[in-house]
Amino acid sequence: MFYIWTFRGKNLIICEIKLGVYVKDNERGQSVIGHALFWFLIAAALISGLVAYNEAPFLYWESNNYRESDMTKLMDERAAPIWSIQGNKKAVLFIHGFAGSPATFRDYAALAIDEDYDVFVPLLPGMGTVPADMYDQSFSGWYRYIQEIYLKYRKNYKEFYIVGMSMGGSLALKLAENFEAAKTPLLAPTGIAVISTPVFINNIFEYGIIVHPAAYVCRIISLFTNEIDGDYSIYGEGGADVREWLGYNGVFPRQIQSIKIGLKRLKDDLAKIAVPVYMAHAVGDKVVHYLNMDYIDKHISSKLKQVRVFDLGGAPHKQHLLVLLDDTREIIYSEMMEFFRNIPK
């Protein structure tokens, strides 16, 4: 306690100050602030850790091993791979999307065969049979499988094209990244076509878009379940103008996580792609946001490109499987093959 002498007008005022009470109150305030800051930092660290666990590629590792689909367990004969080797000088490798099957490209394969292309439409490992066969598969394994097929046959053809639908397009882009025209001219694809193809699932920082919020926590979800059963397929379509899609009707959290990280690595290396690229996407795609195509277009190094944007209005489906839609499938095929024919050889 101490005193302060002061004057108010002509009167002398003596103020008594209780320092001990002031100090004690100040310490109590600092203690509350300190505890709040401590718990704030703890919460921030936990949130950062969860984000990193789910999103950071350097914290995620997976094997590139794969187990081929058992052909004796095919869900439908239309899910079988399509192989047509007739000794032609040009070939097309068609790659279907996640949880799908070669049925996606059966029409395109038949048309290409009639145009004197050798055709390969593989069935990605774990798909086209029963959903449980997906549980131990990964994006790295699917890419390794496709790369092995590509390297086995590429050397046999003067012209070799790759066409991918959805995630199949992502695998096509990765092949074009890894076999650059400048470094491996004999192994680079002559040209590629990517349809409704992702290089990201959500992109809040560059485009401000979140299409699938659950993708941010799919790694955590995968700790509790291999599959979310039911008619939740991200590729499932509806409407009279959609041809039947053949695949699994479920969501596979572990594989979505694998794809998400695989796309991050793919996205970082798009500038390596210099081969001719045809791209097609619908602005109303409810599965893969159409700005994926914008990103691909802006970041690949290809000088020869063609972009096709479809506006399907309020179509009663997800506007994703463009190779099966009556409004788009013929346009895409004719434009894509014309683009391939016009590539300088």
What is residue 12's predicted lDDT score, i.e. its pLDDT? 44
- With tokens 């491996």, the residue in question is 184
The two three-digit tokens of residue 331, written as one number: 């346009």
What is residue 22's predicted lDDT score, i.e. its pLDDT? 46
Q: Taking residues 67-96, report their average pLDDT.
A: 96
What is residue 147's predicted lDDT score, i.e. its pLDDT? 98
Task: Give strand pairing partners of 92.
Answer: 119, 161
Beta strands in the chain (DSSP E): 2-8, 11-17, 82-84, 90-95, 118-121, 159-165, 191-195, 228-229, 250-251, 277-282, 305-310
**Could you give the C-alpha distances from 317 to 120, 183, 200, 268, in angstroms and in order?**
29, 42, 21, 31
Q: Taking residues 307-329, report their average pLDDT.
A: 91
Instruction: Give residue-wise pLDDT tens across range 15-60.
Output: 554 444 444 555 665 677 777 776 777 777 777 777 777 887 878 8
Give dist(CA 98, CA 195) in Å, integer.
13
What is residue 182's predicted lDDT score, i.e. its pLDDT? 77
What is residue 318's predicted lDDT score, i.e. its pLDDT? 87
Give dist(CA 149, CA 153) in Å, integer.
6
Task: Give strand pairing partners of 82.
Answer: 121
Give dist(CA 222, CA 82) in Å, integer.
33
> Quick one: what percent of the chain has pLDDT higher than 70?
86
DSSP 131: G
What is residue 84's predicted lDDT score, i.e. its pLDDT? 98
For 153-178, the DSSP string reads HHTT-SEEEEEEETHHHHHHHHHHHH
pLDDT at 157 over 60: yes
pLDDT at 328 over 80: yes
Give dist(CA 299, CA 295) in Å, integer.
6
What is residue 184's predicted lDDT score, i.e. its pLDDT? 87
Position 14 confidence tier, pLDDT thresholds 50, 70, 90: very low
Number of neighbours of residue 275 by Cβ within 10 angstroms: 23
What is residue 243's predicted lDDT score, i.e. its pLDDT? 63
What is residue 230's predicted lDDT score, i.e. its pLDDT? 62
pLDDT at 294 over 80: yes
Instruction: Give residue-wise pLDDT tens across range 102-123.
Output: 999 999 999 999 999 999 999 9
**Residue 329 · residue 322 · CB < 8 Å:** yes
- With tokens 């789910």, the residue in question is 54
First to last CA, the chain: 95
Give dist(CA 110, CA 124) in Å, integer.
20
What burial letters (b/e) apply to 76-95, b meaning 16+ CB within 10 Å?
Answer: eeebbbbebeeebebbbbbb
pTM for this prediction? 0.86
Domains of the chain, start order: 57-341 (3.40.50.1820)
Phi, psi of 66 (to 5 degrees): -145, 160
**Residue 71 · residue 80 · CB < 8 Å:** yes
Give dist(CA 156, CA 178) in Å, integer.
19
Instruction: Give residue-wise pLDDT tens across range 183-227.
Output: 888 899 999 999 999 999 999 999 999 999 999 999 999 999 999
Of the two residues 304 and 230, the one the predictor is more confident about is 304
Phi, psi of 267 (to 5 degrees): -60, -35
What is residue 19's predicted lDDT score, i.e. its pLDDT? 45
**Could you give the C-alpha distances from 109 to 41, 84, 118, 324, in angstroms and in order?**
57, 9, 9, 13
What is residue 60's predicted lDDT score, i.e. its pLDDT? 87
Give dist(CA 146, CA 138) in Å, integer.
12
What is residue 315's predicted lDDT score, i.e. its pLDDT? 80
Q: Taking residues 77-96, report their average pLDDT.
A: 97
What is residue 177's predicted lDDT score, i.e. its pLDDT? 97
